[in-house]
Amino acid sequence: MTRQIRYQDAIREAQAQILAADPRTYIIGLGAPGPTGIFGTTKDLQREFGVDRVFDMPSSENAMTGVALGTSLLGRRPIVVHMRVDFALLSMEPLVNQIAKWHYMYGGHMVAPLTIRMIIGRGWGQGPQHSQSLQAWLAHVPGLKVVMPTTAHDVKGMLIAAVADDAPVIVMEHRWLYGVTGVVPEEMYEVPLDQAAVVRSGKDVTLAATSYMTLESLRAADMLSQIGVEADVIDLRSLTPIDLPTLSASIARTGRIVVSDTGHSLFGVCAEVLALVAESCFSQLKSAPGRVGLPHAPTPTSPALADLYYPRALDIARAAAEMLGAAHRLPPEILGEHKWKDTPDPSFTGPY
């Protein structure tokens, strides 16, 4: 029988197996041993593995990250959890100035093998300080690997691969994915940290996306199929590096690309992907590429502003259809979708 579990359960299972398999590993994070266990991802792990392996921490992100760096230099392999990427900003000094550069500063003779989970995502009016998607910031820093798994299968395999890697790895998790189920093997396995995945095949346009926007791209592909447009959908999964060979192969088939990301369009992942495409695949493009992301403004709280702020599947479908001169063929019932764009994906049920 093929087992299906939720994204959040896949994360918990990965960490439990990592802790059981390698005594050098431990988990540290605000609320890690708490009653909800950071959206269920660390629930009861302290009870199972003890207070020496699963730590709670007060709001001291900078100190926590520094402690994790120190222990990694002594041979441990910590998993640091920031339940909001916004909170992780307090740890930028040890992360950017120390952890990312350690391997290079010491000529490869020392490594800092940290895995840092950061949760992104919006919903229910989380507002400008609790719902940012700052993956482009982190991917800009040489020495950090940044991955954004979309499926339950990938988040387990990439988390295990991250802990096994000698480089510091940032695992960005969109909280709207936590309730999404998928096929996940019970045993330990690794998913490569440097490869994109083609999750739907088509010949007319490439829809490349990160994290939760991959689900929106699949929905956009369904919309496009209603007007006879077949989309290639690529889950980028890794930002450092971006899997250019997979992108190039797709563009060779379609000649068109729309990139969507959970972050801001300007100076972000969309911009970087399109720059790589322009440098490497320009002669294969049949039309100007497009991007779908957040506007250059802080995340809003109110429903009225959220409706103007957040892109979803329709925006991706419309961008692709306009490239093909087919936007007018999108059915009226599709154009009327969604009432409040800050309402979580139906698969997400909380806790908040």
Catalytic annotation, residues: 61, 130
DSSP labels, 270-324:
HHHHHHHHHHHHGGG-SS--EEEEE-SSPPP-SHHHHHHH---HHHHHHHHHHHT
Bridge partners for 25 per DSSP:
77
For strands 231-235 and 197-200, give the pairing: antiparallel
Tokens 């919309």 belong to residue: 223
* Dihedral sign of CA atoms 243, 246, 251, 254 in order: negative
Q: What distance in Å separates the CA atoms of residue 204 and residue 107, rounded to the nearest whole number?
A: 47
Strands (E), the chain: 4-6, 25-29, 54-55, 77-82, 115-120, 145-147, 169-174, 181-183, 197-200, 205-209, 231-235, 257-264, 290-294
